[in-house]
């Protein structure tokens, strides 16, 4: 633990702290806790006291000290009646223990053995308690530091109080299978139940009943549920013919609990789909739980194929770096599971901003952006303070860099290497950031598109945002591989052979064809790469030189939910918006969507308060979209009025409504950032847009058919190529369940 700014002075005599009760407590529930500090042999002098700090990433509710009848009320009292002051600051002590409650003696003092009790969620005045964090953690810790001498030289107590945060009851079942396999190949089905906050839960018993559509053998009719088991894997399923497979999960009454994502089976695919989350970190840096727990979750509870650990470099000690590399070596199993060693280069935005660094081999050297939270400076000369320094140190090595947006955001204009940095990340728990892709195109970069979680809650590959500052469900990247091992993963990343989603597992293929032989590249020729072949077709991620004036772009999308729209793009220009339905199919379903962010930086969250009121019509029903955060609400208050609040960080939230009359009346929309009165008859196939300033911030309204559109779309389009510069052809897909996907562009260069 980093201790710069704190003291170890006579720690054993500084006092003790305990928590009661010590758990377990269900994630996201209300609790009443008593944290008691007992003064040691020195007592506590006038204006001294203690602080109780919790981790940065917790989404435990902020304590309040004024209204004893309201939620999250907290109080303090001294056993001897001393007058106390209590305050709370979200960023008052050293990362990763930023969130701090400070208790100060303002009149009086404590003798040895006397106590101060901090009641978190004091229910004596009618409060429901304090809402605990929404994600499971076996050792949720209150880091207690005392100031008995009133010098502000904080000293840690000998033992910090902890309690267990455990999952709640099942609220959602999930069934996960691969998305592309060949005939004769075996695969597994992953099954789990999650509580309302996305925690896999073992509060299950009995049996699940399974059924399937499509060419599949080896599926058992039932599988037992063992209490305490948070997930199970059903092995030995066999793809027996080309086609599409979906698996349904039923309870004992026959009711469907969930359906799996679709699996496309081909006769002999050249590449198969393997799913990755390449971005996130554990409790050794700013995340939650241990790095070993992080691996187990990714492999056994999220059913990932590929992962990496990306801790902030300025928190990675040499010991932890060695541990991470040993863990990568242990967890990496070619053919089953791939763990890429790496770290997050966490430079300030002015110096290049956040980048993920992936290594092919373990035991490579780490080049930190700084050592600010690493006390051992013996290797400080290896630091790379600027992103251009990072590229210089990695050049010629088996390394990949991915630009991303987190607390700091990558500024590609400050530095980009066409060899080392093949892709940019457009989605994570932090939100959706298509503007980073626009930045890449603006500097002439030929990049692919990835998504990850940047998860801090210990749930890689299934990263629910919880109730904190994260505004979106974590993303996934689907790699197109000949086989599952590090070499093939690295080759696919370097050649941009991947697509990504906001968490949905879709089966997507994208390719292009043209009329004359052209040079094909896996790497950007701007970095000195030579062509690898000549040909008249290529799949997503390729770079093509000399294709002529047009290309035939082909796309096949197989999704778990109905497909709302597909945008065919050249760079950031939308060439066509395809919907698998026509204006004549539209019915009495409308969608009201809020989206965008404040700006690029850390405070990008946009908070929406709004209402939608009908004049001359009524709502039959509503369904919220992307309401992962249970603290946000979207409710039908009256037959003609919906009230909602939301938070967006580049992505979107909203609701779908079924109308009593498809076209009668007016919708009066009032929100924090945009207002409008819209005739329902004017809401049609194309978006009605209310601009709301900020960064791509707006309200959109559009109409849908009464029946869900197809889950499967195949299309082909002849698209023009730029005569003057690069073209980058790709698709952005939106599905009815609120997810998006992006194919890596096929780059056409003069």
User: What pLDDT digit, counting tens, does each position of 680-698 carry?
Assistant: 999 999 999 999 999 999 9
Helix (H, G, I), strand (E, B) or coil at 209: strand
Q: Which of 232, 218, 243 is nearest to 174 (CA)?
A: 232
Backbone φ, ψ for residue 125 (5° rounding): -100, 10
- Give the sign of the dihedral formed by CA 532, CA 362, CA 427, CA 187: positive
pLDDT, position 5: 55
Beta-sheet strands, E only, within 313-366: 338-340, 342-345, 355-359
Q: What tens digit of pLDDT does each residue of 621-638 get?
A: 999 999 999 899 999 999
> 354: which 2 tokens?
């956040």
pLDDT, position 91: 87
Beta-carbon contacts of 635 under 8 Å, excluding residues fewer than 6 positions away, are: 642, 643, 644
Instruction: Please spell the DSSP secondary structure of 254-310, one letter per residue.
Output: S-EEEEPPPEEEESS-SSEEEEEE--B--TTTTSSS-HHHHHHIIIIIS--SEEE--
| CA distance linking residue 216 with residue 219, whole number of Å | 7
Q: Which long-range contacts (CB under 8 A, 24 or more apart) does 387-391 make?
A: 387/345, 387/347, 387/351, 387/352, 387/353, 387/355, 387/414, 387/415, 388/352, 388/414, 388/415, 390/345, 390/347, 390/352, 390/355, 390/357, 391/415, 391/417, 391/420, 391/421
What is the arithmetic mean of pLDDT over 390-414?
95
In DSSP terms, 748 is beta-bridged to: 544, 727
Q: What tens digit of pLDDT does each residue of 510-534 get?
A: 999 999 999 999 999 999 999 999 9
Edge-first strand order for the sheet with 688-691 is 619-625, 652-659, 586-597, 695-705, 688-691
| CA distance linking residue 602 with residue 213, whole number of Å | 46
Beta-carbon contacts of 1 under 8 Å, excluding residues fewer than 6 positions away, are: none
- Is the full-model pTM beyond 0.85? yes
For residue 339, pLDDT over 50 is answered with yes
Distance of alpha carbon 107 from its chain centroid, rounded? 47
pLDDT, position 58: 94
* Confidence band, pLDDT 50/70/90 cuts, at residue 471: confident
| CA distance linking residue 310 with residue 285, whole number of Å | 9
Beta carbons of 15 and 163 less than 8 angstroms apart: no
The angle subtended at Cα 406 by Cα 400 and Cα 408, nearest 5°, is: 95
| CA distance linking residue 52 with residue 605, whole number of Å | 27
* Confidence band, pLDDT 50/70/90 cuts, at residue 1: very low
pLDDT, position 40: 97
Other Cβ atoms less than 10 A from the Cβ of 688: the count is 19
> 667: which 2 tokens?
């919708």
> 384: which 2 tokens?
């790379």
- Give the sign of the dihedral formed by CA 300, CA 302, CA 306, CA 309: negative
Beta-sheet strands, E only, within 549-600: 550-558, 563-570, 573-578, 586-597
Beta carbons of 117 and 35 less than 8 angstroms apart: yes
Helix/strand/coil (H, E, C) string of 9-71?
CCHHHCCEEEEECCCCEECCCEECEEEEEECCCCCECCCCEEEEEECCCCCCCCCECCCCCCC
Q: Which of 210, 259, 269, 209 is nearest to 239 (CA)?
A: 269
pLDDT, position 553: 98
For residue 225, pLDDT over 90 is answered with yes
For residue 62, pLDDT over 90 is answered with yes
pLDDT, position 447: 98
Cα–Cα separations (whole angstroms), residue 324 to 347, 402, 452, 477: 21, 19, 19, 22
Quote the percentage of the chain above a pLDDT of 90.
Answer: 95
Q: Which residue has the tokens 């309401």?
A: 627
First to last CA, the chain: 54
Backbone φ, ψ for residue 296 (5° rounding): -60, -40
| CA distance linking residue 600 with residue 407, whole number of Å | 10
pLDDT, position 294: 97
* Confidence band, pLDDT 50/70/90 cuts, at residue 43: very high
Q: Which of 192, 254, 256 is nearest to 226 (CA)?
A: 192
Backbone φ, ψ for residue 321 (5° rounding): -60, -45
Q: Which residue has the tokens 């063992």?
A: 226
For residue 6, pLDDT over 90 is answered with no
Q: What tens digit of pLDDT does each residue of 100-124 get?
A: 999 999 999 999 999 999 999 999 9
List the domains of the chain with CATH numbers: 11-166 (2.60.40.680), 172-269 (2.60.40.1930), 274-503 (3.20.20.140), 585-705 (2.60.40)
Q: Which of 471, 427, 465, 473 is nearest to 648 (CA)?
A: 471
In DSSP terms, 537 is beta-bridged to: 513
Distance of alpha carbon 310 from its chain centroid, rounded? 13
What is the arithmetic mean of pLDDT over 127-143?
96
């Amino acid at each position: 633990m980093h201790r710069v700014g704190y003291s170890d002075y006579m720690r054993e005599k500084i006092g003790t702290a305990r928590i009661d009760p010590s758990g377990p407590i269900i994630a996201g529930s209300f609790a009443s806790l008593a944290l008691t500090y007992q003064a040691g042999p020195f007592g506590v002098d006038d204006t001294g006291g203690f602080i109780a700090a919790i981790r940065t990433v917790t989404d435990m509710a902020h304590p309040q000290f004024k209204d004893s009848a309201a939620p999250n009320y907290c109080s303090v009292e001294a056993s001897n009646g001393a007058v106390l002051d209590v305050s709370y600051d979200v960023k008052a002590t050293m990362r990763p223990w930023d969130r701090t409650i400070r208790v100060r003696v303002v009149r009086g003092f404590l003798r040895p053995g006397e106590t101060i009790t901090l009641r978190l969620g004091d229910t004596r005045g009618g409060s429901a308690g304090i809402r605990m964090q929404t994600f499971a953690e076996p050792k949720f810790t209150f880091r207690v530091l005392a100031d008995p001498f009133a010098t502000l030289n904080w000293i840690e107590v000998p033992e910090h109080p902890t309690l267990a945060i455990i999952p709640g009851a099942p609220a959602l079942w999930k069934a996960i299978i691969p998305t592309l396999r060949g005939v004769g190949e075996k695969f597994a089905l992953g099954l789990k139940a999650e509580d309302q906050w996305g925690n896999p839960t073992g509060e299950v018993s009995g049996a699940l009943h399974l059924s399937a559509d499509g060419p599949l053998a080896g599926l058992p009719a039932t599988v037992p549920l063992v209490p305490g088991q948070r997930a199970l894997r059903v092995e030995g399923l066999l793809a027996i013919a080309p086609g599409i497979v979906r698996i349904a999960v039923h309870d004992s009454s026959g009711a469907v609990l969930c359906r799996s994502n679709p699996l496309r089976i081909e006769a002999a695919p050249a590449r198969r789909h393997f799913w990755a989350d390449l971005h996130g970190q554990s409790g050794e840096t700013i995340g939650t739980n241990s790095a070993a727990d992080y691996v187990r979750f990714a492999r056994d509870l999220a059913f990932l194929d590929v992962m990496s650990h990306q801790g902030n470099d300025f928190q990675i000690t040499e010991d932890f770096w060695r541990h991470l590399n040993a863990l990568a070596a242990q967890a990496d199993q070619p053919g089953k599971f791939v763990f890429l060693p790496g770290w997050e280069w966490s430079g300030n935005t002015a110096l290049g901003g956040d980048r993920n660094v992936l290594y092919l081999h373990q035991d490579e050297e780490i080049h930190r952006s700084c050592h600010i939270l690493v006390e051992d400076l013996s290797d400080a000369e290896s630091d790379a303070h600027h992103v251009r320094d990072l590229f210089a140190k990695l050049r010629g090595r088996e390394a990949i860099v991915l630009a991303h947006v987190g607390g700091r955001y990558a500024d590609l204009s400050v530095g980009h290497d066409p060899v080392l940095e093949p892709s940019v990340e457009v989605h994570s728990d932090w939100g959706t950031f298509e503007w980073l892709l626009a930045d890449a195109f603006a500097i002439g970069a030929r990049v692919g598109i990835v998504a990850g979680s940047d998860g801090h809650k210990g749930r890689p590959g299934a990263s629910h945002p919880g109730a904190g500052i994260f505004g979106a469900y974590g993303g996934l990247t689907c790699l197109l591989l000949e086989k599952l091992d590090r070499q093939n993963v690295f080759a696919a990343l370097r050649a941009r052979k991947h697509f990504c989603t906001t968490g949905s597992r879709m089966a997507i293929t994208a390719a292009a064809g043209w009329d004359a032989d052209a040079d094909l590249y896996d790497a950007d020729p701007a970095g000195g790469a030579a062509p690898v072949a000549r040909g008249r077709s290529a799949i997503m991620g390729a770079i093509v030189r000399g294709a002529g004036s047009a290309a035939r772009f082909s796309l096949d999308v197989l999704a778990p939910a109905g497909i709302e729209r597909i945008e065919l793009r050249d760079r950031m220009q939308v060439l066509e918006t395809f919907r698998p339905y026509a204006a004549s199919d539209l019915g009495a379903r409308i969608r009201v969507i809020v989206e965008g962010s404040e700006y690029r930086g850390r405070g990008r969250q946009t908070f929406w308060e709004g209402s939608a009121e009908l004049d001359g019509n009524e709502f039959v029903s509503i369904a919220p979209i992307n309401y992962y955060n249970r603290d946000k609400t979207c409710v039908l208050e009256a037959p003609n009025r919906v009230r909602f609040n939301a938070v967006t960080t580049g992505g979107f939230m909203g609701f779908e409504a079924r109308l009593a009359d498809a076209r009668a009346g007016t919708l009066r929309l009032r929100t924090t950032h945009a207002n409008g009165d819209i005739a329902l008859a004017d809401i049609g196939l194309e978006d009605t847009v209310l601009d709301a300033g900020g960064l791509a911030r707006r309200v959109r309204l559009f109409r849908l058919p009464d029946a869900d559109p197809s889950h499967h779309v195949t299309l082909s389009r002849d698209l023009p190529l730029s005569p003057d510069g690069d073209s980058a052809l790709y698709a952005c897909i939106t599905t009815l369940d609120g997810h998006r996907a992006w194919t890596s562009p096929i780059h056409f260069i003069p």
